[in-house]
Amino acid sequence: MFDYSGRSVFVAGGTSGINLGVAQAFAAAGANVFVISRSPEKVAAAVEQLQASGAKAAGMSADVRDAEALKVAISTAHGTFGDIDVLVSGAAGNFPARANDISSNGFRAVLEIDLLGTHHVMTAAWPVLRRPGASVINISAPQAMVAMTGQAHVCAAKAGVDMMTRTLALEWGPEGVRVNSVIPGPIDGTEGMRRLAPTPQALDAIRHSVPLKRIGTPANVANLCLFLGSDFASYVSGAVVPVDGGWVLNMQGTVLDPVLDHIAASRR
Ligand code: NAP
Ligand code: COA
């Protein structure tokens, strides 16, 4: 349906979970895909998987908290596949804990990965992205839209990501570069869901609160990314788009309380 032949896609945090699903979808549509994350083993495994599917893929280890490392990664990707057509920024960290139980360093870790990291990814890529038709997709989260107990750090970071999406859409729009955010709902088999829903009961509670009554898949998120990166979305910029079965319409502020109680009980 989408043809990305010869196009270059860079996925920050593209070595597992949702972002790997996004990388796979772009690869299957013909794109040359470059992935980064901290773990060299995860990078090697993801690249091998992408190449095994017949795609041109490469990657390297880099921490999005390190602006200089990001510049090196972007330059390597540029040397490998040329100018970037679609930039996906999805590296993130999360752990459920009430604000009173998060140290300064814990709060900083999440802000630095999710929010500062997204700034690093976008600004490092700008020189090889700045031309009409290129676009950015930031992977946000429902926590940017709805308060959730145990998620003060993530709510703050992802809300910041979405405001950066809107601001950069203003700043980069005149050069023809579109900037959008995607808000995945609860997605099956991911690290994020393992952390936020560590028990079958917690997962069931989330499933019941999704209007479509099911947990999503990485492919659901990837399909939206394929659209947003394509010319079909050529007039879509500054948008924050949920792909969540309607979950954000029906989320409760206390959704994580049983999980927090479970974690506290297992520590006793
Ligand atoms: P995941 O598999 O843990 O994905 C996170 C990715 O980011 C991994 O590739 C990880 O690899 C990388 N990463 C983490 N810290 C990094 C750093 N400092 N520098 C570079 N890379 C880093 O988790 P996921 O659940 O699929 O989440 C993917 C994205 O979707 C995140 O942005 C998350 O907020 C968002 N999201 C997830 C859900 C869900 O249901 N899972 C719902 C809404 C939004 P390394 O460990 O090798 O660094
Ligand atoms: N509750 C409270 N604080 C926690 C915590 C938890 N469950 N897990 C980590 N922290 C705190 C640590 O105690 C530390 O603070 P301190 O130095 O004051 O003790 C701080 O967070 C940083 O932890 P550290 O393990 O050194 O950070 P890191 O940079 O190695 O890892 C994380 C970052 C903590 C976000 C880690 O969970 C991670 O790498 N996550 C990536 C994968 C992920 O979260 N996937 C889901 C995406 S939605």
pLDDT of residue 235: 98
HSE-CB for 46 with a 13 A CA cutoff = 32
pTM, 2 dp: 0.98
Return averaged pLDDT per consecutive 10 residues of the chain, 268 residues in all.
Answer: 96 98 98 98 98 97 98 98 98 97 98 98 98 98 96 98 98 98 98 96 94 98 99 98 96 80 85
pLDDT of residue 268: 75
Strand 135-139 to 178-184 pairing: parallel
- The domains found in the chain, sorted by start residue, are 8-266 (3.40.50.720)
> Is 192 a pocket residue for ligand 2 (Cβ < 6 Å)?
yes
> Is 154 a pocket residue for ligand 2 (Cβ < 6 Å)?
no
Q: How far is the CA of 237 from the centre of ligand 2 (A)?
A: 32
pLDDT of residue 136: 99
pLDDT of residue 1: 86
Q: How far is the CA of 95 from the centre of ligand 2 (A)?
A: 7
> Is 152 a pocket residue for ligand 2 (Cβ < 6 Å)?
no
pLDDT of residue 254: 67
Please answer whether residues 180 and 135 qualify as being in contact, where contact means their C-beta atoms are separated by less than 8 angstroms: yes
